[in-house]
């Protein structure tokens, strides 16, 4: 219920302050909520809009393969630690690699 009230606000400002979340729920339902419920409602609204970490982690290989397919020569590397804990992702485009060879040195 709280997340539904905050959906529009979180879509406009993903880092909306908790006090604003509490105020918006109060104006919509005339009920005070705790800071914890405001935080949890904002987090749930954020997940409803943008998805959660697990879903993003599952989509990473697909996005990196698409990046390489549509940008020939792109170098992509990512690493997951044991138990599927995200460590890092790195990519660079072919044009950046080629341009690096022609850089000018500064004294």
Q: Which domain holds residue 91?
A: 57-100
pTM of the model: 0.62
Same domain, 85 and 67: yes
Q: Is the dihedral of CA 56, 49, 41, 4 positive or negative?
A: negative
Q: What does the angle CA 22 – CA 19 – CA 15 come to, to the nearest 5 degrees?
A: 105
The residue among 95, 101, 90 whose CA lies nearest residue 73 is 95
Residue 95 lies in a domain: yes
Mean pLDDT by 10 residues, the chain (107 residues): 90 92 92 94 92 83 91 89 85 89 78
Q: How many domains does the chain have?
A: 2
Residues 6 and 45 in one domain: yes
């Amino acid at each position: 219920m709280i997340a539904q009230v905050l959906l529009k606000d979180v879509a406009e400002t993903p880092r909306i302050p908790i006090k604003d979340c509490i105020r918006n729920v109060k104006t919509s339902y005339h009920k005070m909520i705790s800071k914890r419920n405001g935080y949890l409602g904002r987090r749930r609204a954020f997940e409803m809009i943008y998805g959660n970490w697990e879903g993003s982690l599952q989509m990473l290989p697909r996005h990196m393969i698409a990046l390489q397919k549509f940008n020939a020569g792109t170098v992509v590397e990512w690493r997951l630690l044991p138990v599927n804990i995200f460590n890092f992702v790195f990519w660079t485009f072919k044009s950046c690699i080629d341009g690096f060879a022609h850089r000018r040195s500064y004294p």
